[in-house]
């Protein structure tokens, strides 16, 4: 790990909030240097706690005790101020490229540490597209969520008895959005490449997650 707190774009976590979520992003920029410059530019008013380069170099941009500006508008479960309740991790990636092995290995090491420091469970590791499904797609369809889940660094669904899809998504934590938007966000993470109308496979996978990992409300609604 290199660097420490070079971004001026942060504030205090509101109402004494503690992180209960980790939000994963891709930078959607041509290089890690370009992404770092933007995340540290006061005029951009964006930042993240951590930035991981393609070669695995990991840089801290904002102290984890502080509120970085990475999530923007959105919600997860009852949490509407996601920035105050989360740790943001940016992965240097154009949005269409695969995530290299050194970068994924570095992310796994970082996740273990963050989850331990803040007692964040695997279901608390989410995509930017999960909490802002109407405007974000990162970390995108090429990100290997199943790999993280196998190490208990996130979650992955199994087939269960199909149930009402919208109800399951609410239990999992997804915010209010148009049905087609929510379907797209769910598939982006758990069924990349799937197309067509909502089906029993979507309902079965969502039902499993809703039964095993329902949002418990401990993060509050701030």
| Extents of the domains making up the chain | 2-156, 158-214
- The one catalytic residue among 90, 123, 152, 180: 90
Answer whether 18's CB lies under 8 Å from 118's CB. yes
116 catalytic? Reply is: no
Both tokens assigned to 120: 């964040």
* pLDDT digits 0-9 by tens, 113-163: 999 999 999 999 999 999 999 999 999 999 999 999 999 999 999 999 999
- 9-56 pLDDT per residue, tens: 999 999 999 999 999 999 999 999 999 999 999 999 999 999 999 999
Contact 20, 71 (CB under 8 A): no
pLDDT, tens digit, for every residue of 116-125? Answer: 999 999 999 9
2-156 topology per CATH? Lysozyme-like (3.40.80)
Q: How far apart are CA 160 and CA 179, in angstroms?
A: 21
Exposure pattern of 30-43 as b/e (b: 16+ CB <10 Å)?
A: eebeebbebbbeee
Task: Give me the residues paired with residue 25 across strands.
Answer: 90
Strand 10-11 relative to strand 58-60: parallel, antiparallel, unpaired?
unpaired
Sign of dihedral through CA atoms 162, 191, 165, 174?
positive
């Amino acid at each position: 790990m290199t660097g420490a707190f070079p971004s001026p774009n942060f504030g205090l976590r509101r109402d004494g909030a503690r992180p209960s979520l980790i939000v994963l992003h891709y930078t959607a920029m041509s290089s890690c240097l370009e992404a770092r410059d933007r995340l540290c530019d006061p005029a951009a008013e964006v930042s993240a706690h951590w930035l991981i380069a393609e070669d695995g170099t990991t840089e801290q941009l904002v102290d984890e005790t502080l509120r970085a500006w990475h999530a923007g508008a959105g919600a997860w479960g009852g949490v509407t101020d996601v920035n105050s309740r989360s740790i943001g991790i940016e992965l240097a990636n154009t949005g269409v490229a695969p995530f290299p092995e050194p970068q994924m290995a570095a992310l796994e090491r970082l996740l273990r540490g963050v989850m331990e420091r803040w007692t964040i469970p695997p279901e608390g590791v989410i995509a930017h597209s999960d909490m802002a499904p109407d405007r974000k797609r990162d970390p995108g369809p090429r990100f290997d969520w199943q790999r993280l889940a196998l190490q208990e660094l996130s979650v992955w669904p199994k087939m269960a008895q199909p149930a009402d899809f919208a109800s399951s998504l609410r239990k999992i934590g997804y915010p209010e959005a148009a049905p087609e938007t929510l379907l797209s966000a769910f598939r982006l993470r758990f069924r990349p490449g799937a197309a067509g109308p909502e089906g029993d496979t979507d309902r079965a996978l969502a039902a499993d997650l809703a039964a095993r990992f329902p949002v418990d409300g401990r993060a509050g609604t701030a």
